[in-house]
Amino acid sequence: MTQEQLEACDKEGERIYESLNDGYLAHVLSKQIFIYEDNYDESLLAIQTTPSFNNALYDLGQQLAKILYAKKCQDSYYEVPA
């Protein structure tokens, strides 16, 4: 990827990271991790406030942006003019 493409992906990755708000995380984590725990709110807060969780979430957003960009390029490459 060119530097320009990487910069565009960085911005998109930040947008994805910011869109993963507490409500979304609570929904996902409640379905996946804390099915049987009574102290769900405390556990969610502990996970969200740890730097490693936030760093991993940010990295995930960056990688997702690159994958989405590559997918968009692949789709446009294989489109056949009508």
What's the pTM? 0.54
Q: Give Cα 8 distance to the centre of its chain.
A: 15
Q: What is the number of domains present in the chain?
A: 1
E strand residue ranges, the chain:
none
Mean pLDDT of the chain: 72
**What pLDDT is stored for residue 51 in this prediction?**
75
User: Which stretch of DSSP H or E encloses residue 4?
Assistant: helix 3-19
Residue 43 contacts by C-beta under 8 Å, 6 or more apart in sequence? 33, 34, 37
- Do 61 and 13 meet the contact criterion of CB atoms below 8 Å apart? yes
The predicted model gives 29-58 an average pLDDT of: 67
Rounded CA separation 50/58 (Å): 13
8-20 per-position pLDDT tens digit: 788 888 888 777 7
Query: 64 is in which domain, residue-wise?
Result: 3-78
- Tokens 């969610």: give the residue: 44
